[in-house]
Structure 1
Amino acid sequence: MSVNLGVEISRRRRDQRLTQEDLAELSDLSVNFISRLERTKDQNISIQKLDSIAQALNTTTPDIINNAYRVKKVYPNGPTKETNPAYIQKIVNEIRKLPSGDAEKVSKSLIVLLKTMNNNK
Structure 2
Amino acid sequence: MSVNLGQEISRRRREQKLTQEDLAELSDLSVNFISRLERTKDQNVSIQKLDSIAQALNTTTPDIINNAYRSKKVKNDSTPDNTPVFIQKVTNELRKLPADKAERVCKSLIVLVKEINS
TM (norm. structure 1) is 0.57
Deviation at 1:45?
A: 0.2
Could you list the runs of 5+ residues in structure 2 that have no partner in the other structure? 73-118
Matches within 5 A, 1:39-118: 39-70=39-70
Deviation at 1:65?
A: 0.1
Deviation at 1:8?
A: 0.2
Report the counterpart of residue 10 of structure 2 in structure 1.
Answer: 10
Computing the radius of gyration from Cα coordinates, the structure with the larger value is 2
Deviation at 1:49?
A: 0.2
Deviations 1:36-94 (CA, angstroms, capped at 9, x unpaired): 0000012200000000000000000000000001279xxxxxxxxxxxxxxxxxxxxxx
SS of alignment partner, residue 65 of structure 1: helix
Letter in 1 for 2:27: S
Matches within 5 A, 1:8-47: 8-47=8-47
Over aligned residues, Cα RMSD in angstroms?
1.3
TM (norm. structure 2) is 0.59
Deviation at 1:3?
A: 1.0
Could you list the runs of 5+ residues in structure 1 that have no partner in the other structure? 73-121
Task: Determine the C-alpha separation between the residues in 1 that align with 2:11 and 2:71.
Answer: 19
Task: Determine the C-alpha separation between the residues in 2 that align with 1:12 and 1:42.
Answer: 18
Letter in 1 for 2:13: R
Write out the 4+ residue segments of structure 1 that deviate beyond 2 Å after TM superposition: none
Letter in 1 for 2:12: R
Deviation at 1:29?
A: 0.1
SS of alignment partner, residue 18 of structure 1: coil
Task: Determine the C-alpha separation between the residues in 1 that align with 2:40 and 2:71.
Answer: 21
Corresponding pairs, count: 72
